[in-house]
Amino acid sequence: MARLITILNGPNLNLLGVREPGIYGHDTLDDVAAACAAVGREFGLETELRQTNHEGELVEMVHAARETSAGIIINPAAFTHTSIALLDALNAFEGPVLEVHVSNVHKRERFRRHSYVSLRADGVIAGFGVEGYALAMRRMGTLCA
């Protein structure tokens, strides 16, 4: 049976592909889900992609992943810079955690350069567009082998 990788997405990522395409591109979360599933199959991994605009729901998704998932790929979006609750939830997850950002957060506003999530993450991928998710899946394939 394949192991599950949970791919979590924070606020406004439901608008990926239409919101600020100059920064985030034209690919949608459906495109991300398809790309991650394709890479996952190469490694015998299943994927589940989820998105929420609500911090508490994202925390609950991390809690649920403790019971079902071998690893978490997370794009916390704006919660990256603000959510200690999300960090605490990720700290309770025993598998690998990879943080992904579509844009290069280090080239943007100063406040975006700080990540609470990176204090837990086993790796961070930023600035590769939605291809960063597929890169994270490849790394997950190695970490969960």
CA-to-CA distance for 45 and 21, rounded, in angstroms? 30
The position carrying tokens 């600035």 is: 127
CB 96 within 8 A of CB 125: no
Of the residues 26, 63, 101, 114, only one is catalytic, namely: 101
State the catalytic residue, choosing from 24, 54, 81, 133. Answer: 24
Examine the residue annotation and report whether 24 is marked as an active-site residue of this protein.
Answer: yes
Rounded to 10 deg, the angle between the 55-68 and 84-91 helix axes is: 10
- Residues 28, 103: Cα–Cα separation, whole Å: 14
CA distances from 83 to 34, 117, 142 (A): 28, 8, 28
- Is 101 among the residues known to form the active site? yes
Active site residues: 24, 101
